Amino acid sequence: MNLRKYLAFGTAIAMLAGTAALAGCSTEETTETTEEVTTEEVAELEGSITVQGSDTLLNVATAWSEAFMDENPGVDISVQGGGSGTGIAALINGTADFANASRGIKDEEITEAEANGVEPVEHKVAIDGIAVVVNPASEVEELTMEQLGAIFRGEITNWSEVGGADAAIVLLSRDSSSGTYEYFKEEVVAAENEDAEYAASAKLLPSNQAIADEVAANEAGIGYIGLGYLTDDVKVVAIDGVKASVETATDGSYPISRFLYMYSNGEVDGVMKAYLDWILGDEGQQLVEDEGFVPLP
Amino acid sequence: MRGLIYACGWLAIIILGAIAAFLIHNSVRAIQEAGIGTMLSTTAWYPTSSPGKFGLLPLIVGSLYVTGVALLVSVPVGVGAAVFISEFSGRRVKDVMKTIIEFMAAVPSVVYGLIGVAVLIPLVKDIFALDSGMTALTGGVVLGIMSIPTVITISEDALHAVPADLRRGSAALGNTRWQTTYKVTLPAAGSGIFAASMLGLGRAIGETMAVLMLTGNAAVMPASVLESVRTMTGTIAAEMGEVVQGGLHYSVLFAVGLVLFIITFAINLAADLVLERQRKRWRR
């Protein structure tokens, strides 16, 4: 009797999945119609743009699209997250007009794009400053890049080795798929030796917020988070004597900051160009700052 | 109409087959390039290094640790609650309990995860005097709590299905209600309770969001449940969004899914075999 119940339930789920798949097909069809509209140059901006990609950029990308649509009622912009890889794949498949990425496009992806007749063009849209944070109760105020690298490689394991209390260091990192993880690895962990890895004991947390929360709760914790996630519950550690802030990231004196990108297929024109110019203009860059990133200089 | 019902039945099998074929198809590149032997025998998981290191062992062990803890929580509590509801509670208490349990099952896993982050992580850290409360134990306990409703509901069904004659017969032999429960009713419902535990296990090993939030996700070979672990489900969820689609890392994640699929399939198959053997024994 029970088995039959499960079978019935299974079929119900399968049917639901079927309808969901059908719905998926129909949305793909609608996005394909966008390009015809975007090529027309009209005085009153009209058209629709599909943006997909990086979760780091998701908040600011949503803010951009909302503000831009307010000013240009004829324009329809849809923004989706999913990750840099997802966004670039969508650009290559032609289901997105812009791919948001928190990392540069990889050679493998360029090859695949060219095979599909897509020519990815890179646009820098903002700067992300990455602050190194510890618990406010920690005595450590400053680290050198070498010390920071050694800590995240697992070579320095006790806070007393860098002027703190005698306690084991709890390493908190972004997940290995995050663009921030790769950036931090290149600039800090493997700065001197390309083959160096993060310590295996580093806890990999799914978001900036998760790291901020754990550092705020754990006196032995150290982690790295985007400037937008800084609160009074965590303490910023100066790196080589410079504290992370919008000012130090803009003037280049803070060593750990990176660009965030949008990719398009070929050079942009029409409504896409208008949108990109607006993002790079004063209003767009003001939103960058409001969302906790650093505007382009 | 009859044809439609038949088709629906077959559909489930076809879907399962299609899932397996899809996983295998996408894993081929990983199996060829990263090597299935290397993946299953090495312990370094650095998928984004160049070249990537794809040691699945810490992920498999991590999943098993978390699931083991979850079973230790969900089975005793779930079966105990089912016995209480089925054998010892009055009708009104029973109705209230069942409603609450159904509600428990409807709470989204991310909410359990949030509660775990706020309550259990600091608690585990303090109780065991650890550096960090993000451990296999933390994730396992929350998963255990999440799978309790499954265990209760199915165990209670099994206990309910035990014929009243058995209970009356036991009472006629002078057994108390409590003696009847553990000498007669529980053994009679044994196979159903076993099935309940297995379904609870299935829920726990496949859960993603809560473990991602609670276990710390460090890909180490854990020496005890008080260390951080990275599970297979958590790895797939965390990394799929950022990989190069169609690349080696992408394919390795499908291989992880395939391993997970094989493990759950094996558990279910083993459970079915045990149930079948037990049924035969009862028939004699």
One digit per residue, the tens of pLDDT, for chain A of length 297 reads: 444 445 455 444 444 444 444 444 444 444 444 444 444 444 578 889 999 988 888 889 999 999 999 999 999 999 988 788 889 989 998 899 999 998 889 888 899 899 999 999 999 999 988 999 999 999 999 999 999 999 999 999 999 999 999 999 999 998 877 778 888 998 999 988 888 899 988 999 888 888 999 999 899 999 999 888 888 999 999 999 999 988 888 888 898 988 899 999 999 989 999 999 999 999 999 999 888 888 988
pLDDT of residue A31: 42
Helices (H) and strands (E) in chain B, counts: 14, 2
d(CA A236, CA A122): 32
Question: What DSSP line would sit under chain A, residue for residue?
Answer: -HHHHHHHHHHHHHHHHHHHHHHHHHHHHHHHTHHHHHTS--SS--EEEEEEE-STTHHHHHHHHHHHHHH-TTEEEEEEEE-HHHHHHHHHHTS-SEEEESSPPPHHHHHHHHHTT--EEEEEEEEEEEEEEE-TT----EE-HHHHHHHHHTS--BGGGGTS-S-B-EEEEE-TTSHHHHHHIIIIITSS-TT----TT-EEESSHHHHHHHHHH-TTEEEEEEGGG--TTSEEPEETTB---HHHHHTT-SS-EEEEEEEEESS--HHHHHHHHHHHSHHHHHHHHHTT-B---
Q: Do the domain assignments include residue A41?
A: no
pLDDT of residue B282: 61
Beta-carbon separation of B131 and A210 below 8 A: no
Residues 85-104 on A with a CB inside 8 Å of B are 85-86, 88-89
Q: Do the domain assignments include residue A138?
A: yes
Q: Do the domain assignments include residue A34?
A: no
Chain A CB contacts of B15 below 8 Å: 14, 17
> Which residue segment(s) compose the domain that A273 sits in?
46-127+259-290
> Mind telling me how many Å the CA of A104 is from chain B's nearest CA?
12
Q: What is the mean pLDDT, run by run of 10 residues, along chain B of 284 residues?
A: 89 93 94 89 86 90 95 95 92 92 90 93 91 92 94 91 90 93 90 88 89 91 92 90 82 94 88 78 60
Looking at the structure, tell me whether residues A146 and A226 fall in a common domain.
yes
Q: What is the CA radius of gyration of chain A?
A: 22
CATH code at position B248: 1.10.3720.10
Q: How many CA atoms lie within 13 A of B139 on its CB side?
A: 35
Beta-carbon separation of B217 and A198 below 8 A: no
d(CA A91, CA A101): 11
Looking at the structure, tell me whether residues A224 and A136 fall in a common domain.
yes
Looking at the structure, tell me whether residues A122 and A264 fall in a common domain.
yes
pLDDT of residue B94: 92
d(CA B228, CA B214): 9
> Mind telling me how many Å the CA of B173 is from chain A's nearest CA?
31
- Rounded to two decimals, the ipTM of the complex is 0.75
Q: Do the domain assignments include residue B22?
A: no
Could you tell me if B242 lies within 8 Å of chain A, comparing CB atoms?
yes
Q: Do the domain assignments include residue A21?
A: no
pLDDT of residue A1: 43
Beta-carbon separation of A200 and B117 below 8 A: no
**Best interface-test mutation with A: which of B49, B56, B242 has the largest number of A CBs within 10 A?**
B242
> Which residue segment(s) compose the domain that B185 sits in?
58-283
Q: What single letter denotes the amino acid at residue B249?
A: H
H, E, C per residue of B241-257: CCCCCCCHHHHHHHHHH
Looking at the structure, tell me whether residues A119 and A265 fall in a common domain.
yes
